[in-house]
Chain A
Amino acid sequence: MIHARQLRKAYRDGADEVRVLNGLDLDVRAGEFVAVVGPSGSGKSTLLHVLGGLDASYAGEVEVAGVRLNELNDVALARFRNRQVGFVFQSFHLIASLSALDNVLLPAFFDVEAVAGPRRKRAEDVLARVGLIEKKNRVPAQLSGGERQRTAIARALFAEPKLLLCDEPTGNLDETTGGEVIELFRELHRDGLTILVVTHEDRMSTAAQRVLRLTGGVLRPSGGEGR
């Protein structure tokens, strides 16, 4: 599902160059649930953005779901993000003025198909899947933290992506709701979805099949973690 070779990315911090990805290699099989752990600032989110086609300024080669991201222009990358991957962020990143249903439908606004009946039905189905169909007309401010994250997961699932990329998805949730979200990820994984999650939380990494540690800009297997 994911093949990354010799990924390199650096930031300038004043006069210094900070290499967050330094020749990183990664292979994730379809249907795998992989957690990437590492200290804050180690480049976990950067890796996620590169793999999701959100950040195109890197060196190296990335192939996701059979698509070589290096070869895509902006429009093709946008279509890739729209169809092939779903993002889940720590701060949910819902649009405050839209209802839960419209937030889930948001990817459809940027698709070539119209936001019509079948797509609305699909959005309701995924909202039902995460247990929020009763609250579909509520705006994010009227939802709890766990409900907002489940709405964000529903949005990520809307386009039936092959890969779910999650950036600290339980970071802003209490233990109970965080546990519910982790359970939801397990269910999605059981259904065959490939999941790559970056986290520094043990409970999240223990849910994954495989845990990789990002240090010094490269990934290494993390001992003693994962299922």
Chain B
Amino acid sequence: MKASSLRRLVLLSLARDWKGAAFSAFGVAIGIGALVFFISLGLGVGRVVQQKVFPVEATLVDVVPPSISVGILGGAKLDQSTVDRLSKLGDVAQVYRKMNVRIPAASRYDGPFFGSHLRMAIEVLAVGVDAGLVRKDVLLGDFSDPGAERPIPAIASTRLLEIYNKTFAPPRNLPQLSPNLVVGFTLPVQFNRTFVGGATSGPVVEAQVQIVGVSERALLAGITIPLEAAIRLNRIGNADAQTFSGVTLVARDPSGVPRIVDRVRGMGLQIDDQERRLAQNAGAAVMITTSAMALLSMLICFLAAVNIAHALFASVRARAREIGIMRAVGAARRDIRSLILAEAGVVGLVGGFAGTIGAVALATGVDRLSASQLPNFPFKPDTFFSHDWRIFAGGVALGVIAALAGAFLPSRHAAAMNPARTVAD
């Protein structure tokens, strides 16, 4: 049978029982719609978790000194010689050193703040890093230590800015800040000074800290400054200025990360994978929820397939004589099978399209409702959904597959009917 003939017969058949076909398609649409909706939601929320809440780069490995010293030699130190050894590991493309500012720091600010007036006194945490780690996010200057007389360039955390904008600023009537807006803001910081601790040794260093960029690689609850500045400040405060607080290794390829981790551990060092584990845990929670919803949706699709099977069995019984006539005028069993499957395929295609369009419409509605009704919480995305064409195509394809699966047995039943018996008067 030619495809054009099959198409015509299918359309004629569906037009004759369009209500039954529409009901079957509706069942498919509900299942596929739910599936597309929940998968889009799961992937969308997962993307927010991965990209905004716990941004973990697949090629980065954070190395820290061991927290417990074992044996007469103590634990491995993270000094320059260790850094040199790390840089020579295979699979390592770049090494970025980090050193905490190991003296306390505090800031007292009373002045203009982007059109408002800000008065605050806070303890400041700071870490120094090699410029390369944050260079792509630096919007002002070259992120190097300018010396004692000039403002120290600092990078703020993207997530800190988000928390400020969504949680801190609104109740205090402070302005919302974008990364570009915050660049250039300068605040005074006194190093080797604390509001909460006891007395410190060494002189207090009065400095200005100027925000030069916002980065996901910056310290979450503090400022990230050039490594040389951190070393200088530690020296002034008589703190350790030799060993590093951590090293970030950049793997040439994500597949090389496990090998790097093994070798680093072999050197007696530890991996700081707290962020990665948090991201994995959050991702797993999202995935489990999404999978449960997807399973529920698959169940609906299965029920839709069962409904199609029932409807087609009934249709085949009702059309037994018609099928017999077709056999009498030249239809082979495979033609009858193709006809029943094609009818189901069209039902599945229409149901799959309708369900996918419905899911997209519902997702758009949820996003609009979220934008207008939900509070502006941190990391609130513009959309909770991943509008990926592959999900849509998969939804439509699954609709067709569910319908074809439902039609499988009825089509075989129809093809196996004895035409001589069905045309008997």
Contacts and interface: CB of A to CB of B under 8 A. Distances in A.
A54 B333 CA distance: 12
B328 A79 contact: no
A102 B8 CA distance: 11
Contacts of B424: 45
B19 interface: no
A90 B423 CA distance: 10
Contacts of A94: 325
Contact of B9 (A75, A82, A109, A167): A109
A193 interface: no
A166 to B, nearest CB: 12
Contact of B420 (A55, A106, A110, A168): A55
B425 A82 contact: no
B418 interface: yes
B330 A110 contact: yes
Q: Which of B9, B325, B331 has the most CB of A within 10 A?
A: B325
A114 interface: yes
Given A109-B9, A114-B2, A54 B330 contact: no
A97 B16 contact: yes
Contact of A81 (B15, B327, B334): B327
B425 A110 contact: no
Contact of B321 (A74, A87, A93): A93
Interface in A67-117: 74-75, 77-79, 81-83, 87, 89-91, 93-95, 97-98, 102, 106-115
> Looking at chain A, what size class is its interface with the partner chain?
35 or more
Contacts of A111: 1-2, 5, 330
B12 interface: yes
Contact of B418 (A55, A82, A159): A55
A93 B13 CA distance: 17
Nearest to A107: B329
A87 to B, nearest CB: 5
Nearest to B329: A107
B329 A110 contact: yes
Contacts of B5: 108-111, 114-115
Given A54-B420, A109-B9, A171 B425 contact: yes
Interface string B318-362: 000110111111111111000000000000000000000000000
Interface of B: 1-2, 4-5, 8-9, 12-13, 15-16, 321-322, 324-335, 418-420, 423-425
Given A45-B425, A52-B328, A97-B16, 4 more contacts: A78-B327, A78-B331, A81-B327, A107-B330
Interface of A: 45-46, 49, 52, 54-55, 74-75, 77-79, 81-83, 87, 89-91, 93-95, 97-98, 102, 106-115, 155, 159, 167-168, 171
6 contacts: A54-B327, A54-B419, A81-B330, A111-B330, A113-B2, A114-B2
The 5 closest A-B pairs by CB, nearest first: A82-B330, A78-B332, A55-B420, A110-B330, A49-B420
